[in-house]
Amino acid sequence: MGRLVAVGLMGMALALLGERFLALRNRLKATGEVESVDLPNCHLIKGIEAGAEDIDILPNGLAFFSVGLKCPGLHSFAPDKPGGILMMDLKEGKPRALELRISRGFDLASFNPHGISTFIDDDDTVYLFVVNHPEFKNTVEIFKFQEEENSLLHLKTIKHELLPSVNDIIAIGPRHFYATNDHYFSDPFLKYLETYVNLHWANVVYYSPNEVKVVAEGFDSANGINISPDKKYLYVADILAHEIHVLEKHPNMNLTQIKVLQLDTLVDNVSIDPSSGDIWIGCHPNGQKLFVYDPNNPPSSEVLHIQNILSEKPLVTTVYANNGSVLQGSSVAAVHDGKLLIGTLYHRALYCEI
């Protein structure tokens, strides 16, 4: 009898594992393909060879790139080179990407930048917030941008128990931000288990010098985050659920979900067109290709443009799509004054005039 019970339990466990495996393949869209959508006036950005995972653009046209991200199990074209922050002036006729110098005392050798966000203070001081994974740990670095010197002055490193697996960040003050945790755990094995079992424990955290708290939770894998031009709503991309969550921001900084937009692709970073409030997203049509890299069958790229997301029927347009022959693993798309920048998780970056 005991053996029958053991066999029965083993069978149930195997069935559950099989069901979870098939569910994970669906969440990764492991069979996803993309039909090419080309833009006529694009070129690859010189100097970006190993990813530009996130991009943020100031109102004056200065664009910041987070480059060289490395994660356990993720492909890298420059595994031994530290990450960095690049800048491009989109007002120039032929803009170039230049690496910003970082002040002495900051550990450049372990710099592993992920999501980024800028904040302009009342005195026009520009702060750059950077999610950093030194030795695959989790910190948020705050820099002051010094435009005259093309440099970043490091001001502060933030660590907190509520920031165990930070992915992206949106700055709302000189020391204040919202951040996404794409996992509840920080341990690599527990992260994998969390994803496989589909616990939905990922969350959004509000941080200030006086208060740190979870303000939204229940995500499969919370990824990109951004804020509407009027500062009333936050947008959170749940990459493995293929969803954009719209959350209302309250005076106490808590968030209330008011809408979920379901899409048919893995949504990564979220950028906002400040002039229209439109949303631009770098997406992954096939997540399995992203994580199981094959140079003969590389990950594809896709850019979505979402208009009127608060309406009953938002307009979703595929602006760009490529099978990996030009751009592999698009993670972000940011616009400014008729120019579109597309970054990737670990490949190249594209500059387009639209």
Task: Write out the binding residues for Ca(2+).
Answer: 53-54, 116, 167-168, 223, 268-269
Neighbours of 140 (CB within 10 A): 23
Render 238-287 in DSSP notation, one character per residue. ETTTTEEEEEEE-TTS-EEEEEEEE-SSEEEEEEE-TTT--EEEEEES-H
Query: For the chain, what is the radius of gyration of the CA atoms?
Result: 20
Name beta bridge partners: 173: 176
| Known binding residues | 53-54, 116, 167-168, 223, 268-269
Residue 175 φ then ψ, to 5°: -140, 20
Residues 6+ apart with CB under 8 A from 177: 117, 129, 140, 169, 170, 171, 206, 207
**CA 198 to chain CA mean position, Å:** 20
Cite the active site residues. 114
Give the chain's end-to-end CA distance (angstroms, integer). 71
Cα 276-214-191 angle, rounded to 5 deg: 100
The Cα–Cα gap between 21 and 347 comes to: 28
CB 109 within 8 A of CB 218: no
